[in-house]
Structure 1
Amino acid sequence: MTTTMMTMTMMIMMKRREIMKMTMMILLQYQVGKRCTRQRRRKKKQKLLDTKWWGPTKKNDNVFKPYEPAFAVVEIGSHQFKVSNGDNIFTERLKFCEVNDKLILNKVLLLGSPSQTIVGRPIVPDGAVHAVVEEHALDAKVIIFKKKRRKNYRRTKGHRQELTKLRITNIEGVEKPLNELVEKPSNSAKKEQEKVAVSA
């Protein structure tokens, strides 16, 4: 009788060990899965906006640089924007940015100026667009109305898209044109040129 009891208790203990092993395996798989989702989320956030963190602006920061006639095509999230110095653009809400934060947008697809155009394959390696977060806002309301006739089915729903307003402060990667001083010819030089033209 005692031997059968002993074997029964041993069997129960073995089953408990197996159950514990199984639960530990499940917990480990769950934690690994959790870690993977965290990494995926991080990658997604990085992909959403490929930026470098600079921190908030200060009151005495001279944010704007003198205007240069240059433009850039920037990818933010899955949208592309054509921007130049001083432009304001509305993007989808950037959740990890606060108001007055400086951003560097690295996904520059194209840079252009009066003297040159640089096309990226797919991005321009030295190109960067500096921006400042102006505000977080909501877009105008869009009403979604569904109806199926003769079925007494009507659904009305509203949606306001969350937006972030960015102000473009600088575009890097385009060579700045040199301001060469061109001397105006004097009146006597003009008259001499006219005389030469007439005599020829």
Structure 2
Amino acid sequence: MYAVIKTGGKQYRVASGDKIKVEQIAADIGQEITIDQVLALGNGSDLKIGAPLVSGATVKVKVVSHGKHDKVRIFKLRRRKHYQKHQGHRQAYTELEIGSIAG
């Protein structure tokens, strides 16, 4: 069984036992969270699509860790104008382990 969930403005296709990295969630490591924004549920050839959400469907996840992705380097240059700018960014994430999918 799999589900399409929405968290942090993005959509993820998840199945039980998967580990995914999502936008940072304010939760402690080891805490269980219930995600109720389920857009679709699938089980083999059976597919249940919500409009926009599947009513009564939930996904239980466990917070595994928090961290930061690799650094993205930004370099801006305007030629012949004596302008250069260096920047960097590391996006924070929360790693989740998918538990049970109920729908």
TM-score range, shorter chain: over 0.9
1:117-141: CA deviation from partner (whole Å, max 9, x where unpaired): 1110110112110100000010010
Residue of structure 2 in register with 1:98 after alignment:
28
In 1, Cα distance between the equivalents of 2:70 and 2:45?
Answer: 40
Higher normalized contact order (CA 8 Å, seq sep 6+, divided by chain length): 2
Match status 1:134 vs 2:64: yes
Compare the two structures and name the one with the higher helix fraction.
1
Residue of structure 1 in register with 2:19 after alignment:
88
Match status 1:112 vs 2:42: yes
Deviation at 1:116, TM superposition (A): 1.7
**Unpaired runs of at least 5, structure 2:** none
In 1, Cα distance between the equivalents of 2:91 and 2:68?
Answer: 6
Task: For residue 89 of structure 1, give the secondary structure of its aligned residue in structure 2.
Answer: strand
**Unpaired runs of at least 5, structure 1:** 1-69, 174-200
Task: For residue 88 of structure 2, give the secondary structure of its aligned residue in structure 1.
Answer: strand
1:20-66: CA deviation from partner (whole Å, max 9, x where unpaired): xxxxxxxxxxxxxxxxxxxxxxxxxxxxxxxxxxxxxxxxxxxxxxx
In 2, Cα distance between the equivalents of 1:114 and 1:155?
Answer: 51
Structure number with larger C-alpha Rg: 1
Q: Which runs of 4+ in 1 moved over 4 A?
A: none
CA RMSD of aligned residues (A): 0.8
In 1, Cα distance between the equivalents of 2:45 and 2:14?
Answer: 17
In 1, Cα distance between the equivalents of 2:85 and 2:17?
Answer: 43
Of the three residues 133, 136, 148, the one matched with 2:78 is 148
The two structures have a TM-score, normalised by structure 1, of 0.51
Percent of residue pairs identical? 37
